[in-house]
């Protein structure tokens, strides 16, 4: 888990969100990840294709790149129209799933029901029970950031509160990666400064130390997401509590993504 310098093994994810529009673009997008092969001994890499495309692309990445669906059900299979179960994800041979992205927590700008902290906890429990690993996203909207750093930290603590008992019972805490993504920095080109990212990451790590113990705080990886690009990756990743990046737009570009990973390790 640890690598030279005492930090945790970096983890970089590419979230394609609801892209691309055509299945015929998938081959090229998958090939884009070939460039990450030289870095896989030093860095974990995952990609989150749209749910419709997961099964089409899952075997098409350079070996070692994990495919992590962008969402999952809260239970097994059954009468859950429109859902995608952890059991089905597992059956496809996938080991990771991402949940709690802000775009599912009510940030579409439409009156779609927001996924709650309680729902996230239900999903996480089921994911872990089924033996999968989880990238668990949190992050504050602009309205909270504007209230100041104490409000930001309180919001992050609140988004984690429901999963504390689950993490407590989990033996291998590295099975959960926390992705801190300030909503105001997503897709806006407005990145949190390295200091802003570090401030929140350090808070989360201290919170883990208080809730659990120093070993847990040391083991859990915390990714930063929000307008990460090759030219800001190095500074963000050089922060002591930033263990990787969760990348949206730039993950759809070949050279940009491998360059970003090169700059992240
Ligand atoms: P951008 O990198 O496009 O800002 O998206 C970040 C994100 O939401 C990744 O999940």
The whole-number pLDDT of residue 3 equals 40
Q: Which of 101, 115, 140, 201 is catalytic?
A: 101
Whole-number Å distance, alpha carbon 157 to ligand 1 midpoint, is 21
Residue segments in the chain with a per-residue pLDDT below the cut of 70: 1-6, 254
* Atom number of ligand 1 nearest to Cα 179: 10
- What are the tens digits of pLDDT across the range 67-97? 999 999 999 999 999 999 999 999 999 999 9
Whether 189 lines ligand 1, by a CB cut-off of 6 Å, is: no
Active site residue 181: yes
* Atom number of ligand 1 nearest to Cα 103: 8
Active site residue 28: no
Whether 247 lines ligand 1, by a CB cut-off of 6 Å, is: yes
Q: Whose CA is nearest to atom 9 of ligand 1?
A: 248
State CA 261 to chain mean position distance: 15
The whole-number pLDDT of residue 254 equals 64
The whole-number pLDDT of residue 113 equals 84
Whether 15 lines ligand 1, by a CB cut-off of 6 Å, is: yes
The strand pair at 176-180 and 222-225 is best described as: parallel
* Atom number of ligand 1 nearest to Cα 98: 10
């Amino acid at each position: 888990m640890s690598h030279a310098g005492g930090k945790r093994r970096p983890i970089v994810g590419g979230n394609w969100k609801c892209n691309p529009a055509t299945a015929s673009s998938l081959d090229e997008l998958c090939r884009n990840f070939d460039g990450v092969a030289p870095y896989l001994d030093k860095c974990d890499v995952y990609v989150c294709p749209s749910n419709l495309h997961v099964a089409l692309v899952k075997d098409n990445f350079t070996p070692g790149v994990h495919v992590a669906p962008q969402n999952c059900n809260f239970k097994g299979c059954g009468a859950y129209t429109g859902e995608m179960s952890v059991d089905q994800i597992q059956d496809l041979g996938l080991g990771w799933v991402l949940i709690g992205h802000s775009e599912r927590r009510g940030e579409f700008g439409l009156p779609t029901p927001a996924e709650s902290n309680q729902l996230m906890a239900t999903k996480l429990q089921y994911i872990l029970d089924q033996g999968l690993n989880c990238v668990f996203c949190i992050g504050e909207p602009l309205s909270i950031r504007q209230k100041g750093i104490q409000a930001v930290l309180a919001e992050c603590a609140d988004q984690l509160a429901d999963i504390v008992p689950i993490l407590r019972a989990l033996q291998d805490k590295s099975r959960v990666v926390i992705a801190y993504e300030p909503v105001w920095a997503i897709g806006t080109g407005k990145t949190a400064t390295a200091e802003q990212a570090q401030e929140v990451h350090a808070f989360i790590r201290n919170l883990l130390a208080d809730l659990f113990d120093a070993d847990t705080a040391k083991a859990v990886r915390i990714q930063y997401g929000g307008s990460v690009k090759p030219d800001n990756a190095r500074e963000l990743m050089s922060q002591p509590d930033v263990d990787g990046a969760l990348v949206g737009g730039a993950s759809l570009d070949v050279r940009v993504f491998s360059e970003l990973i090169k700059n992240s390790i």
